[in-house]
Amino acid sequence: QVQLVEIGGGLVQAGGSLRLSCAASGRTFSSYAMGWFRQAPGKEREFVAAINWDGGNTDYASSVKGRFTISRDNAKNTVYLQMNSLKPEDTAVYYCAGLYSAHSYGTSRNHHEYAIWGQGTQVTVSS
């Protein structure tokens, strides 16, 4: 079973950058597609970005496309979310999640399909 721990959140001014990391334990990390989701107070959890098992397929929400980049390093059992040009509306708790995909090309935007979740990390963007 893979367990996930996110690090890298914090407070940043609008226009700034942050990089989130999600470290996975276990020996089957490369069998998982990985996603980043976020949840702001009073709002539902929303999809941010996803990446397939080898990084050959990525997907982004329209609200972050061109500003955020998802990547992974299977040798380090880690997935990253580089966030640039941050806006106050990006403020949320960010979660990484794993979807067992057995080395398939696909990813998913549906958080219900992800079985493994980290504890979340707060990102706050001030105006």
Residue 2 is predicted with a pLDDT of 81
Say if residue 36's pLDDT is above 80. yes
Mean pLDDT value across residues 58-79: 97
DSSP state of 113: G
Spatial CA neighbour of 99 closest among 45, 52, 48, 46: 52
Residue 76 is predicted with a pLDDT of 95
Beta-carbon contacts of residue 13 (< 8 Å; ≥ 6 apart): 125, 126
3-state secondary structure 15-34: CCCEEEEEEEECCCHHHEEE
Say if residue 39's pLDDT is above 90. yes
Beta-carbon contacts of residue 89 (< 8 Å; ≥ 6 apart): 63, 125
Mean pLDDT value across residues 42-68: 97
Mean pLDDT value across residues 102-111: 90
Choice between 123 and 101, residue whose per-residue pLDDT is larger = 123
Residue 38 is predicted with a pLDDT of 98
